[in-house]
Amino acid sequence: MARKTLNRSFLFLLLIGLAILLFYKFVVDRRLMIAPEWHNKLSFKTSRPISQAAMNDAIIGKFSTGFWKSNLTFNINHNDVIVFLHIQKTGGTTFGRHLVQNLSLKKPCNCQGGKKQKYNRNNKNRKRSKLRCQCHRPNSTDVWLFSRYSTGWKCGLHADFTELMECLPQYFRKFDGGHNRQTFNRKYHFITELRNPINRYLSEYQHVSRGATWKKSRHKCNGRLPTIKELPPCYNGSSWSYVTLKDFISCKYNLANNRQTRMLADLRLVNCYGNSSMSLQQRNQILLDSAKRNLKQMAYFGLIEYQRESQLMFERKFGMKFIRPFVQYNFNQTYASEVLYKLSPAILYKIREINSVDIQLYNYALKLFKHRWNELKILMNITN
């Protein structure tokens, strides 16, 4: 009798332990990939030795304590230009609209379009007309904002850091009528938005499966476009509509993989899109270090998961105020949530694996963001 009772107790405890394990695996483990509110650090095991990691930390440097006291101030009346590096599916469209429609300025941007067409029986699928804005300095026709809605994609559709660095001087030289002096004196204040890599990847998958292609993106580097051999397409035809997640993951040339790192790094350091000169591990490490360095040197970067903090940090850095506060959406309101909760552990692991470099970059960005936010809270006497 005693043995039966003992066996039942053991079986009961075993079932409880199994239930806890399954709960963590299928519920908590997914929540860790949703938004920073659930974690302090996205985890992914890396094979890099400690000595290499320590050396890379030395390259990037410790977080400085003078970010908010630096003399990198923006002057809208002079030759300063805010350059928005817009990475796909990071909330950049919303943030871009804030820049042209939501800033309280002496001379606001003059915008046309951007509204949905009126409903009629012959046009049930109403599309939003293209938003175009002129963002001129006070008492001048010179532009202070380089972005999708102000200047258009002058350096290419969703131009990355490498493309912008090569294109901006040429663009403003033409804008200035060929005069080099004003172009030489311009100060570029780079800004960008980042997002949890897993959520961003799934959001891009959803967008591509609905027909998005970004075919007009140039991916120009070192003055030339990549060859078909360097950057093979993942699909045939006009789009990748209705692609399965399995096929989306399987294409090793998919630019969705580690997109944030690639778009923030200087690709010239790794021979652009040519992959034959070094190992994949070495290439990824160089890109990661470059992306960290460029991110740290930017005038501002925001995180989609921290809208209020991002808004206040931008306002402080550029001396501008937004008219309406940023809206923080719950993850369950996003397209990515529709996919994430249905993923098997194996698929989720594979997505983490092919975005491991972005995960490391986001961990760094999250630490840097919180460091700067904590400094700003003290400076502005923010209590919550």
Among candidates 195, 224, 225, which has minimal Cα distance to 94? Answer: 195
Beta-bridge partners for 111: 133
158 belongs to the catalytic site: yes
- Sign (positive/negative) of CA torsion 309, 310, 316, 322? negative
Quick check: 335 and 89 in contact, CB under 8 A?
no
H runs (alpha helix) in 24-91: 29-31, 50-60
Quick check: 44 and 352 in contact, CB under 8 A?
yes
Q: Is 169 helix (H, G, I), strand (E, B) or coil?
A: helix
What token pair was written down for 272?
């652009």
Active-site residue (options: 86, 136, 158, 189): 158
* Residues 174, 151: Cα–Cα separation, whole Å: 13
Among candidates 31, 76, 10, which has minimal Cα distance to 319? Answer: 76
Instruction: Tell me the Ramachandran region of residue 111: left when phi exceeds 0, alpha when psi lies from -120 to 50, beta otherwise.
Output: beta
Among candidates 39, 372, 23, which has minimal Cα distance to 199? Answer: 39
Catalytic positions = 158
